[in-house]
């Protein structure tokens, strides 16, 4: 069976090198292109305040993550869930940069870059010149957006 992990993150901003941090990680296990029902989901205390502009995107507030574990407290569970499966993400460079940064901060080795599959890049090849955001792709493939009012690591 071919095992893959669909992964998404939510963050305090756009760049971990300027102090932005992870605040949510969500993963769905896929085998032979079908969800298995196994998921990994954690809110993470970013050890900093969440800017209002970020809250507008995902709705995650400081109160929601103040008692959440810090990244170093969830990394073992995350890495175990990921295993050695390919990692699928929309705009994968964004998620990979944050995952790699957080793992590097604690002196661990991140998953190799060649394990990441970027669905945005795939969509841009298949639909050049068209909108290829998650919302646009959901509409194109007739996937309901009813439950997706804000970004969320599992709902995206």
- The answer for residues whose C-beta is within 8 angstroms of residue 103's C-beta and 6 or more apart is 75, 109, 110
d(CA 52, CA 47): 16
The owner of tokens 């009012």 is 149
CB-based contact 43:64 (threshold 8 Å): yes
Vertex 92 angle, CA 117 and 65, to 5°:
130
Q: Which of 58, 72, 90, 151 is the catalytic position? A: 151
Burial class of residue 5, CB neighbours in 10 A (0-12, 13-18, 19+): buried
d(CA 62, CA 29): 29
- For residue 72, indicate whether it is catalytic: no
Which sequence positions are flagged as catalytic? 151
């Amino acid at each position: 069976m071919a095992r893959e992990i669909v992964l998404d993150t939510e963050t305090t901003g756009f760049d971990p090198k300027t102090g932005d941090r992870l605040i949510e990680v969500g993963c769905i296990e896929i085998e032979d292109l079908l969800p298995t029902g196994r998921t990994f989901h954690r809110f993470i205390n970013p050890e900093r305040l969440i800017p209002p502009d970020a809250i507008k995107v995902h709705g995650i507030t400081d109160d929601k993550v103040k008692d959440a574990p810090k990244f170093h407290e969830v990394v073992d569970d995350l890495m175990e869930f990921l295993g050695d499966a390919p990692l699928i993400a929309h705009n994968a460079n964004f998620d990979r940069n944050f995952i790699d940064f957080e793992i590097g901060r604690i002196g661990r080795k991140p998953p190799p870059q060649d394990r990441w599959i970027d669905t945005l890049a795939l969509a841009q090849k298949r639909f050049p010149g068209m909108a290829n955001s998650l919302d646009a792709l959901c509409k194109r493939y007739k996937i309901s957006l009813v439950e997706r009012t804000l970004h969320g690591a599992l709902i995206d």
